Structure 1
Amino acid sequence: MAAFPAQPDLSLRSYEGDTGTDRHDWAQLVLPVRGSLTLDIAGREGRLGVARAAYVPTQAWHTTIGDRPNQSLVLDVAGTDIPDCLADQLASEAFVPMAPPAMALVEYMRLLVEDGAPATGQLARWVPLLLDALGRQRPRPLSRLQATLAAAEESLGHPWTTALMAQHANLSPSRVHELFRAELGTTPRAWLAERRLARAREWLARTDRSIATIASDAGYGDQSGLTRAMREAMDTTPAAYRRQQRETATKIP
């Protein structure tokens, strides 16, 4: 395992496919600047976008999945450099909505990184400002999509469409599209596809349910539908993914 650098380290990274499971001796903030990606942190999976970051605590197992073009600033920082109260707050949330002040700081540093490695002094001043911005963020009001997203998550096997989601939320389909873009950085169709694939992966890795049952309950209709989706998104099959996950689990001490 690599040793943590003496100073916080910042890099601009892109992720492609499933990067495998990892953990390290430092905390990490993943701050997307383009596109979106999925991160599983100790069994909690969420979608990241330019308005939603993620916090990976020290020694937390995590997996990053890039299923579309993406780019993120990744800040590696010693856990002891983050105030305990903020570290507890970030760890409890895992996936952190980014208020405008924090987003502005991320965009500023992105420009510096793209122009070349920022000076040590610039990074040393930027990190406390970012942490302070994250600590000062106020909880967002509940989204008008909240109940609909929860209902869809509970019944992914239901034949959801944008029209049905709009009806559930008592909104027009066009307004639902606007809210998905503004709050989640995606479309209803893409969000459903991502959640169904995430749920299928979870069941394949952690249960003994048959692949046909998983496919039906996750909303694919039949096993061939799930197989097509996994081939397109991950270049694998349900059976191969289950086998790989179980082999990985046996190697983790």
Structure 2
Amino acid sequence: MPTLETPSVDLAIRSYGTEPEWDRHAFAQLVLPLSGTVQLEIEGRQGRLDPLHGALVAPGAWHTQVSHDANRSFILDIDGSAMEHDALARLAERPFTPLGPAVRKLVEFMELMASASAVARPLLQGWVPLLLDALALETPQPRSRLAALLARVEARPGLPWSTATMARVAHLSVSRLHALFREELDMSPHAWLLQRRLDFACRCLAASAWPIAEVALQAGFADQVRPDARHAPAPRYHPGDLPPHPARTRRIAGRTRASAKNAVVRDYP
């Protein structure tokens, strides 16, 4: 299997809107969704991408993409000379592909690294060959029965989702839903939902001026009590790691000054 020792690559996180824009370029492009769904068309072939399904845009291929919900994707630009790799050669013929557990774990790892700081070039160059080898070793599987459900929950994680509701949306029994989550995601529906809600809350804290109570409600937590540690997955990042939103910082500072102004100083014997 040809491998890439020093691939010429570039990685970005992008979101797409409702207006299609046709494009083509001399390099290959791997689309690895992190959340939401994207409708992608490549040279007349169409596919729906989500965190369980990605795609390869071959060098020179005309393509466009649209989305009608909140979405984020890793876009990995790879030099055209890398098309000899088994994974890219196979994807050039069948550009839409399921993303198995090994690939998803690698994508999750890189998402964690990218959320903390800019991805260092040596890290990216070591990650890409692992990603391509994982893609090459996977056997194509039928489209996941969970795909539509996952996209729907990720679009609105704050709704009162339960395992029974999720099973009904996916047209599955509750026991079959649990089995598929274990097979495809290696976690329970509850653990996956909790992780999506925590991810949503962290993004809101970093990007919006909502007070913490509002973020908790929008994320689907009935109150601000920390989720039961017995059931919560290990956090990929902590709210304290996120830069505070300026509006929230000003509001908290204002409350602090008001409290200091109104404070009563007592002398005790």
Aligned to 1:99: 100
Shift of 1:94: 1.0
Aligned to 2:48: 47
User: Partners of 2:35 and 2:60 in 1: how far apart?
Assistant: 27
> Could you say if the C-alpha distance between residues 122 and 141 of structure 1 is closer, same or farther in structure 2, counting changes exceeding 3 Å?
same
Aligned to 2:63: 62
Segments of 5+ residues of structure 2 without an aligned counterpart are 1-6, 147-166, 185-269
Shift of 1:87: 2.3
The superposition leaves residues 27-60 of structure 1 with CA deviations (integer Å, 9 ceiling, x where unpaired) of 0000000111110011011100000001000000
> Could you say if the C-alpha distance between residues 141 and 37 of structure 1 is closer, same or farther in structure 2, counting changes exceeding 3 Å?
closer
**SS of the counterpart of 1:46?**
strand
Any residues of structure 2 matched to 1:1-253 within 5 Å, and which? Answer: 7-140=8-141, 176=171
**SS of the counterpart of 2:139?**
coil
The one-letter amino acid of 2:104's match is M
Higher helix share: 1
**SS of the counterpart of 1:18?**
coil
User: Partners of 2:172 and 2:62 in 1: how far apart?
Assistant: 34
* 2:27/2:78 contact within 8 Å kept: yes
* 2:52/2:144 contact within 8 Å kept: no
**SS of the counterpart of 2:140?**
coil
Shift of 1:88: 2.4
Shift of 1:74: 0.4
**SS of the counterpart of 1:17?**
coil
The one-letter amino acid of 2:96's match is F
TM-score (norm 2): 0.51
* 2:98/2:143 contact within 8 Å kept: no
User: Partners of 1:142 and 1:51 in 2: how far apart?
Assistant: 9
> Could you say if the C-alpha distance between residues 144 and 80 of structure 1 is closer, same or farther in structure 2, counting changes exceeding 3 Å?
same
Shift of 1:19: 3.4
Shift of 1:137: 0.3
> Could you say if the C-alpha distance between residues 142 and 106 of structure 1 is closer, same or farther in structure 2, counting changes exceeding 3 Å?
closer
The one-letter amino acid of 1:33's match is L
The one-letter amino acid of 1:15's match is Y
The superposition leaves residues 141-177 of structure 1 with CA deviations (integer Å, 9 ceiling, x where unpaired) of 58789xxxxxxxxxxxxxxxxxxxxxxxxxx966526
Shift of 1:91: 1.5
Shift of 1:82: 3.6
* 2:14/2:72 contact within 8 Å kept: yes
RMSD over aligned Cα atoms = 2.8
User: Partners of 1:62 and 1:88 in 2: how far apart?
Assistant: 18
The one-letter amino acid of 2:91's match is L
Q: How many residues align?
A: 152
**SS of the counterpart of 2:32?**
strand
The superposition leaves residues 156-208 of structure 1 with CA deviations (integer Å, 9 ceiling, x where unpaired) of xxxxxxxxxxxxxxxx966526799979xxxxxxxxxxxxxxxxxxxxxxxxx
Higher strand share: 1
The one-letter amino acid of 1:61's match is W
Segments of 5+ residues of structure 1 without an aligned counterpart are 1-5, 146-171, 184-253
* 1:18/1:63 contact within 8 Å kept: no
> Could you say if the C-alpha distance between residues 26 and 97 of structure 1 is closer, same or farther in structure 2, counting changes exceeding 3 Å?
same
Shift of 1:84: 4.5
User: Partners of 1:69 and 1:50 in 2: how far apart?
Assistant: 13
* 1:21/1:63 contact within 8 Å kept: yes
The structure 1 segments of at least 4 consecutive aligned residues displaced by more than 3 Å after TM superposition are 141-145, 172-175, 177-183
**SS of the counterpart of 2:20?**
strand
